[in-house]
Chain A
Amino acid sequence: MLAGLLDSGSIQFIIFGVMVIAIFITLFITIAK
């Protein structure tokens, strides 16, 4: 079920967006230290 969900385009689109935001926040915190 997870595989099917991860491979449907709308979920991939959302995961990509969340990844971009999450990594920018992580980088910001990491570099600020």
Chain B
Amino acid sequence: MIGLQIACGENITCPSIFGYLTVAMAFIIFVGSIYLVLSAVFGIRMGYLVIATAFFGWMILWSIIWVFGAHLGIPGVTTPKNQGPQGAAPIWQPFQSGTTVTSEKYPVVNEWPSSAWRTPNTSDASAVQEVQSAIQELLASQANTEHHIDPTAFNAIQPTDFTVKNVQFAVSGHTSLAIGQAFYTNGGPTITVALYHDSGSVQVYSWAFLIVSILGFAIHIPFLDRAERKRKAVLTGGARPPWLGPA
């Protein structure tokens, strides 16, 4: 069973198989119809080479926009990058929680609080918010597990039931770290949570599409070139067919 995943109308979600079928049908109709016309003109083999070269060329343009975005130099008229298929989003991953935190991998965690940890400034506002919600979600899910509550049940403990304070940042090697303290709003101990920043792999599929498209293009071009030369020889070489009068 494939879950309800994709938007397919106003306030309607459909199983993602609809998306897969849409892409496959679009490919058959839009690429197939042009291939049919091309094969009638060029023949089936050269028709394929023309449509495949065009397809990979188009995919190159498309994935360049995914990788780099499209910037026309006009203010406000721009396509941001990463609008295509995306890998894992960057997240703050909690790795330690308790009344105290220790870490062998990131020794700076043991020093907390110290001068190695800095309090966030105004430019960290979004990072602080991400850290706060990561801590809230972690504690809510831990609390629900501990009390055997279904997280979707009406009596589930919500992430917003936790208050996060004292978020601080540090760097260990190339990894950004954060520590925050949180408590259940209706009372309870203060829990300290340590997190590291996982920068994710958002761009990986944009690059994968670009590289595969360039490869596909490069593979087809020499064959198309050869097929075109051969065709030219057919068109320009040899003798003119005999004139048999008006048909």
Contacts and interface: CB of A to CB of B under 8 A. Distances in A.
Contacts of A9: 85-87, 204-205
Given A13-B85, A23-B27, A28-B44, A6 B20 contact: yes
Contacts, number: 53
Given A7-B5, A9-B86, A23 B32 contact: yes
A24 B16 contact: no
B141 to A, nearest CB: 18
Contact of A19 (B24, B47, B52): B24
B72 interface: no
Contact of B23 (A2, A6, A19, A24): A19
Nearest to B33: A27
Interface residues of B, number: 30
B27 A31 contact: no
Contacts of B77: none
Chain A residues touching B, range: 10 to 19
Nearest to B202: A9
Given A7-B16, A20-B27, A28-B48, A2 B1 contact: yes
B219 interface: no
B35 interface: yes
B212 A32 contact: no
Given A3-B16, A27-B36, A31-B47, 7 more contacts: A12-B85, A17-B212, A19-B23, A20-B27, A20-B55, A27-B31, A31-B44
